[in-house]
Chain A
Amino acid sequence: MLKGYPRADGRKGIRNIVAVAYLVECAHHVAREIVAPTREDAHVIGFPGCFPNPYAQKMMERLCTHPNVGAVLLVSLGCESFNRRQLEDVVRASGRPVETLVIQQNGGTRTTIAKGRAFVAECIAALAGEEPVPMDVSELVVGTVCGGSDGTSGITGNPAAGLAFDKLVAAGAACIFEETGELIGCEEIMASRAATPALADALRETVAKAARYYDTLGLGSFAAGNADGGLTTIEEKSLGAYMKSGQSQISGIIKPGDLPPRGGLYLMDVVPDGEVRFGFPNISDNAEIVEMMASGAHLTLFVTGRGSVVGSALAPVLKIAANPHMYANLSEDMDVNAGRILNGDTGLEEVADEIYAGVLALASGEKSKSEDLGHTEFILTYKTFEPLGPACLPA
């Protein structure tokens, strides 16, 4: 049975974590030391930049009020530009216990760590007394990313994850896929799955925006190495990544931090709006996972061919190994072996069922491999977004 911790906004969390958030890199060490004795129950998140950024503010507000978060400690140096009062107000309004510690006003590193640990210990004790309530699959938000991809990702892990997404969407969950830069060449196929003609146009435009952005960055699309691996055309290569989305109708487009308004399948448009400003849209896989969480993902499916070992702060990551040789090597880090499809004795459906069951298990309190190993990676950098267009969300 799925179990969730009820929140004031109506959502439920599948974890009850204390988030310790540093508001500039200068406060990162203190935040890390605060959680050191209680790393299972308190996770560090944060924004390293000293200069203000509306995207980072929104992301931190969403993350500190993520359903898996039960209480929040903000750790500020004191002179950074981050609007800590607004963040604290947002968290307090969400009904969660919150405290802000400003290092410059608390006698420095040692005393701030001591005060922080005391607050966190108090919160953990209080949260331990909360009883989870029954939760339905339709209340789940699930993201998907792929990283460390190889030739197997597109034929085992991604299609299996897509089938699992179809089952989740059919059960009423909200599912999010992304990586618009890897959808170049399949925008027409994707547009044909849109709930409305206007959404179809918006889907095409998100991919066109990604193409322009990556063009400016000088990233290529289809190369000789792809053909060696058996890929023939750009649309075939993109389809391999696109398969993570399954076959369901596409209900809408969201941007990082936007919450899916209801169940269904959503494309997350992760490529910044406007001129190219801060470099790569997402500098590593965890940046994508963080954006999934900011849009409410309770957990994220992560398909990997080469073998990523990361997890995440706040929300579990379900690791799907696409390559059977990698699985044999890194099985302690992998939750599902989709690579066994290549051994000829397992079909996609069977692996998809295993992924679906894995999602339900995580949402019932079981730990993923990366959680068990203590992975709590987190990264957030600068971006710029315009608000969503009118056709992006279901009426």
Chain B
Amino acid sequence: MATDGRLLRLAPADNVLIVRQALQPGDIVEVEGVTITVPVRLGLGHKLAAAPIAAGDKVVKYGAPIGRATEDIPVGAHVHIHNVVSDYTPTYALPGEEQEL
């Protein structure tokens, strides 16, 4: 299945693809054979669903889980903090402290 050259698959088991070059709203991209119209600007490094991800399923990048979906995510949708939550229970936290890293 064809996938747009502007998207990058990091590992075979991944269900997300990485944006290589910024995509603008209205851009047409092909994701695993499905044609998608990009709804919002997606910067370098952002993720699109490579396959449907059901609510509660693991989001897999680098072949490893990076969290789980909080809602059903269709192919080509933006995968980010609005629909993914961390599985990691921090053993430490610095509440209220925001730093540029």
Please report A residues at the B interface, Cβ cutoff 8 Å.
151-152, 154-155, 159, 185-186, 189, 208, 211-212, 215, 218-236, 239-240, 242-243, 247, 341-345, 348
Contacts and interface: CB of A to CB of B under 8 A. Distances in A.
Interface string B85-101: 11110111110011111
B99 A230 contact: no
Given A155-B8, A212-B92, A236 B66 contact: yes
A154 B10 CA distance: 10
B84 interface: yes
Nearest to A240: B62
Given A239-B64, A342-B20, A232 B92 contact: no
A227 B80 contact: yes
Nearest to A345: B5
A232 B79 contact: yes
B39 interface: no
Nearest to B5: A344
A235 B67 contact: yes
A186 B64 contact: yes
B44 interface: yes
Interface in B13-69: 18-21, 43-47, 59, 61-67
A225 B100 contact: yes
A222 B93 CA distance: 10
A348 to B, nearest CB: 8
B21 A342 contact: yes
Contacts of B84: 232-233
The 8 closest A-B pairs by CB, nearest first: A230-B45, A230-B46, A236-B66, A344-B5, A233-B86, A220-B99, A233-B67, A151-B45
A163 to B, nearest CB: 11
A341 B44 CA distance: 12
Contacts of B1: none
Nearest to A224: B98
A340 B11 CA distance: 18
A234 B20 contact: no
A234 B90 contact: yes
A233 B88 CA distance: 9
Contact of B80 (A208, A230, A234, A247): A230
Nearest to A323: B44
Contact of A229 (B8, B45, B92, B98): B45
Contacts of B2: none
Given A230-B44, A233-B88, A223 B66 contact: no
B101 A223 contact: yes
Contacts of A222: 101
Contacts of A344: 5-6, 20-21
Contacts of A240: 62
Contacts of B43: 228-230
Given A155-B45, A342-B44, A235 B87 contact: yes
Contact of B66 (A152, A226, A227, A239): A239
A220 B97 contact: yes
Contacts of A243: 62
